[in-house]
Each structure stands twice: as structure tokens, then as C-alpha cells.
């Protein structure tokens, strides 16, 4: 597979997963209406509203918010001429505007990108990654980060977070209603079929879990897509591949103040063993290396 087919496949899969997320929302709404009757219909816009407000704020101010959450410091060209040279090279290859650049003082090698659109993009590097990598490897990492910017992954993950959040809030409110206040209005038009009721209940309980799984799957597909897009920019899969090998060989992880920004790094800062593959925000690094190796053989 070359980078073009990789890009197309990952885009297709993201759309499929987002549609799955949409279907899940409808399933939850349907289950709620079946179980509690039509009187609960008013809860749906409330749940979606809360999720929208909480995610939209972080989406709109993504660049500024992430700076405070990761302790990144903005730098300019005079601070690190070589890094800016490399970033400028990749912006020429990709046709993107020059992003803001930040440094995180941390010996663990890692990097991330954020920002609501290419004009507000921010890419950040740990001091560790700048020391550990040579020109080609850093170019691969920068291309991966700018690929996230080009693919609008902040938007995609905001959409995923909103729907997953809405489902979680909805399910939470409805399960509370079940414990308090007796829940469904038995006398009115609600569906009396016991099998339908059991199914609805199961859907309401399992939906948040399913939403989380879908959200992680979307994040993994976007990582694979960013790898493929990075190769489209540099046409040098070997650079990113050897950069990922450096990351894989390094056992230190970024000292994070918060796990809520874990998904934005190039290598997940969460301990891989404690999270199952299904909940992981990144594909296994060995798998990513294998895909890039296959691209190297192609060219």
C-alpha cells in the first residue's frame, strides 16, 4: 500500500466510525423513548447542549488551552533556527501556513499538534525529542504533526468528543432517573413489550462504553492517517519510521499534568500496558512502523 491508498482507506474508515457514532446516538435516544416514554424527549437536547458547550470551548481555544495544560512555551525563530528551518521545509511541502511553535521542557521525546484550523495551528516538541533526533527523523515528526493540522484532526476529535460526551451525559441522566423517581410512566403510551424494555435498558447502560470505544477507534484511524499524510508531504517514509523507532526504544514518558490531553501526542504518554488496545488512542507503535516500512519498499 502506498501513502495515497493509506490516506483514502483511513479517511473512509473515519467516516464509517463517525457514522457509527451518529447511529449510536439515535439508538440511545430510541432506547430512552422506549423505556421512559416520550416525556423524556426533552432530555436529549439538554445532553447534546451540555456536551456541545463543554467541547466547543476547548475546540475553539485549543491552541491556548493546550499550552496551559501541557506547560508548553511558545518560541520564535531566533530561539531555534534549525527547528524553524525544518518546519518551514514541511510547510512548503504541504502548502500549509507556518504554525506557532512551542517547547515543552521534558526529557521524554514527544510532540503534538493542535489548533482549530491551519491558521491557528500550534505544534510543540519536548526538549527530549529535539535532542534525540536527527534532521530526517525530526522532519518526519514535524510532517506527522502538520498532517494532523492538514487533516483537521482537532475538529474530528472535537466532533467525536461531543457525541461521546452527549451519549455519556444522556445515559447518566437516564440511569439516575431510573434509581430516583421510579422512572418510566407505566400508565401512558410507553412500550409495554418486556423484551424491548430489557434491550433499551442494556443499550442505555452499554452506550457510553461503546461511544468510548468508537472515540478511541477514530483517534487511532487519525493517527494512521497522519502517518500516511506525513509521507505524502516528505515522500520519505524512512524518516518517520526511524523517528518512531526512537520513540519505541525510549521508555520514558512525558510527565503529564492531565490525561485529558493524552491523545494529542505523537506517542501516547499513557502506559501502554494498563490500557487495552481497544481503548488506546494510538495504534501500536510496532504496527505503525510496519506500515511505514511497507511504504519504503514501495518507493
Partner 1 sequence: MKTIVVLGVIALIAVFIVAQYNRLIRLNIGVNEAWAQIEVQLKRRSDLIPNLVETVKGYAKHEQSTFDAVVTARAKATSATTVADVAAADGMLTQALRGLLAVAEAYPDLKASTNFLALQEELSTTENKVAFSRQFYNDNVRSLNTAVKTVPTNLFASFAKVTEREFYEVEDPQDRNAPKVTF
Catalytic residue IDs = 145
Of the candidate residues 88, 257, 277, 293, the single one contacting partner 1 (CB under 8 A): 88
| Grid cell in block for residue 280 | 488506546
Q: Is 90 in the site for partner 1 (CB under 8 A)?
A: yes
Q: Is 240 in the site for partner 1 (CB under 8 A)?
A: no
Least distance from partner 1 to the Cβ atom of residue 179, Å: 53
Q: Is 94 in the site for partner 1 (CB under 8 A)?
A: yes
Instruction: Give residues with Cβ within 8 angstroms of 230, minimum separation 6.
Output: 140, 143, 144, 146, 147, 240
Residues 197 and 191 sit within 8 Å (Cβ to Cβ): yes
Query: Which of the ranges 9-17, 80-88, 176-184, 279-287 carries the binding residues for partner 1, by CB under 8 A?
Result: 80-88
Least distance from partner 1 to the Cβ atom of residue 57, Å: 33
Q: Is 89 in the site for partner 1 (CB under 8 A)?
A: yes
Of the candidate residues 12, 73, 176, 235, the single one contacting partner 1 (CB under 8 A): 235
- Report the residue number, 230 or 262, with the smaller CB distance to partner 1: 230
Nearest Cα neighbor of 163 from 54, 57, 283, 42 is 54
Least distance from partner 1 to the Cβ atom of residue 42, Å: 37
Stretch 146-205 residues interacting with partner 1 (CB under 8 A): none
Of the candidate residues 81, 251, 259, 274, the single one contacting partner 1 (CB under 8 A): 81
Least distance from partner 1 to the Cβ atom of residue 297, Å: 15
Query: Which of the ranges 84-92, 151-159, 173-181, 201-209 carries the binding residues for partner 1, by CB under 8 A?
Result: 84-92
Q: Is 229 in the site for partner 1 (CB under 8 A)?
A: no
Helix (H/G/I), strand (E/B), else coil: 170: helix
Torsion-angle region of 244 (φ positive above 0: left; ψ -120 to 50: alpha; else: beta):
alpha
Q: Is 7 in the site for partner 1 (CB under 8 A)?
A: no
Q: How many CA atoms lie within 13 A of 182 on its CB side?
A: 3
Residues 115 and 155 sit within 8 Å (Cβ to Cβ): no
Give CA–CA dist 182/249, Å, rounded: 55
Least distance from partner 1 to the Cβ atom of residue 112, Å: 23
Helices (H) and strands (E) in the chain, counts: 10, 4
Q: How far is CA 31 from CA 70, 79, 190, 289, in A?
A: 39, 56, 11, 42
Binding footprint of partner 1 on the chain (CB under 8 A)? 81-82, 85-86, 88-90, 92-95, 135-136, 139, 234-236, 299
Amino acid at each position: 500500500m502506498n501513502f495515497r491508498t493509506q490516506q483514502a482507506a483511513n479517511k473512509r474508515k473515519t467516516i464509517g466510525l463517525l457514522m457509527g457514532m451518529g447511529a449510536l446516538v439515535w439508538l440511545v435516544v430510541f432506547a430512552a423513548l422506549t423505556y421512559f416514554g416520550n416525556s423524556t424527549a426533552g432530555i436529549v437536547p439538554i445532553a447534546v447542549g451540555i456536551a456541545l458547550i463543554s467541547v466547543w470551548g476547548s475546540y475553539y481555544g485549543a491552541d491556548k488551552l493546550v499550552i496551559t495544560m501541557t506547560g508548553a512555551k511558545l518560541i520564535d525563530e531566533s530561539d531555534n533556527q534549525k527547528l524553524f528551518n525544518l518546519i518551514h521545509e514541511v510547510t512548503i511541502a504541504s502548502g500549509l501556513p507556518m504554525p506557532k511553535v512551542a517547547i515543552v521542557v521534558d526529557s521524554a521525546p514527544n510532540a503534538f499538534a493542535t489548533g482549530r484550523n491551519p491558521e491557528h495551528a500550534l505544534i510543540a516538541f519536548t526538549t527530549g525529542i529535539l535532542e534525540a533526533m536527527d534532521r530526517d527523523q525530526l522532519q518526519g515528526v514535524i510532517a506527522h504533526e502538520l498532517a494532523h493540522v492538514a487533516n483537521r484532526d482537532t475538529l474530528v476529535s472535537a466532533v467525536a468528543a461531543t457525541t461521546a460526551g452527549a451519549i455519556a451525559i444522556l445515559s447518566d441522566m437516564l440511569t439516575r432517573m431510573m434509581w430516583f423517581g421510579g422512572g418510566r410512566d407505566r400508565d401512558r403510551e410507553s412500550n409495554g413489550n418486556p423484551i424491548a424494555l430489557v434491550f433499551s435498558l442494556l443499550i442505555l447502560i452499554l452506550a457510553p462504553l461503546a461511544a468510548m470505544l468508537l472515540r478511541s477507534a477514530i483517534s487511532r484511524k487519525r493517527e494512521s492517517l497522519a502517518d500516511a499524510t506525513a509521507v505524502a508531504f516528505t515522500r520519505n517514509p524512512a524518516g518517520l519510521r526511524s523517528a518512531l523507532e526512537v520513540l519505541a526504544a525510549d521508555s520514558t514518558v512525558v510527565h503529564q499534568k492531565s490525561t485529558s490531553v493524552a491523545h494529542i501526542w505523537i506517542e501516547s504518554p499513557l502506559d501502554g500496558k494498563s490500557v487495552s488496545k481497544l481503548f488506546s488512542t494510538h495504534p501500536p507503535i510496532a504496527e505503525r512502523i510496519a506500515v511505514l516500512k511497507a511504504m519504503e519498499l514501495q518507493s
